[in-house]
A = this chain, B = another copy of it.
Amino acid sequence: MDTRHMRYFMALAETLHFGRAAERMNMSQPPFSRQIAMIEHTLGVKLFERNSRNVALTPAGKHFMKDCRNVLGQFEEACRDVRLVASGMKGELRFGFMMHAAHSVVPQLVQLYAEARSDVRLVLDERTPTEIDEMLVAGTLDAAVTFDCGYAPHLQTVLLARERLRIIMRKDHPLATAGQIGPEELRVEKIIAAPAATAPALRSAINSYFLARGIVPHVVLEPRLQHTIIQLVAKGLGVALIPASLCTELGAGLMSRALTDAPQLDVVLRAPVTTKNPAVSTFMEIGKSIQRTLL
């Protein structure tokens, strides 16, 4: 038995006429009759009640008709869908992003892509930048938004936004009312920053900001998650340098201020150049289309 046999069966079940059913199958009546006989023989079931004058479905045939319609429909759909998946119109896209971008480009990117490719299931995965890099290499992620960390030959990159860092502190902190804030003013402050192992680009930008003035920043705590950093600042354990886009929704007791010659970080959309997922290309295209204020 095969779907071809099901199609033969359906042709006869719908026409109840061997000649016309054979014609619909683009073949002559004799081999068609044999195929029907063969189907009945291999199934061991009489599907049609027939004499040289009339053809009628048996109850088993009536039931089989429903099942066949179902199976043939699913079969066609599977063959259609696999082409859609191959063309990137359907399927799945595993998308990683870092917390630092969750409030800026990610929502727009996700929404625009969902509108363009509603049949592609976006699997969102919030990770630290280092995890993202590893997962992109391992192929666990199809694409990701992260900080540009320079050289990456096996990755294609689209620049999405360029963000300045701002400093956040409690509203009752002395710096809250100070004048301009730069490395000198922060020399004695307790700094909270993600470790280099977790967010290399971010941490290196912070370090360079100080070291360029010959200052070694006084980093007292190194939590891995951005969320934790903000919590610790709120508890008064220090101040932190975070991307501007994260400063819009700080808690009540916190505030942010600009830095003199603030460090800049590039937020990029990345995907392995060798990606086999055809859904990635339009994802990258949409990334290009939403490049933000490159202040």
Contacts and interface: CB of A to CB of B under 8 A. Distances in A.
A81 to B, nearest CB: 6
B83 A45 contact: yes
A276 B132 CA distance: 65
A257 interface: no
Nearest to A79: B1
A37 to B, nearest CB: 16
Per DSSP, chain A at the interface is helix
Contacts of A19: none
Contacts of A49: 276
A interface bracket (residues with beta carbon within 8 Å of B): 35 or more
Contacts of A70: 74, 78
Contacts of A277: 59
Given A43-B79, A71-B78, 15 more contacts: A2-B4, A3-B75, A43-B82, A43-B83, A59-B92, A59-B278, A59-B279, A60-B85, A60-B86, A63-B82, A64-B78, A64-B81, A70-B74, A70-B78, A74-B74
Interface of A: 1-4, 6, 43-47, 49, 58-60, 63-64, 67-68, 70-71, 74-75, 77-79, 81-83, 85-86, 90-92, 276-279
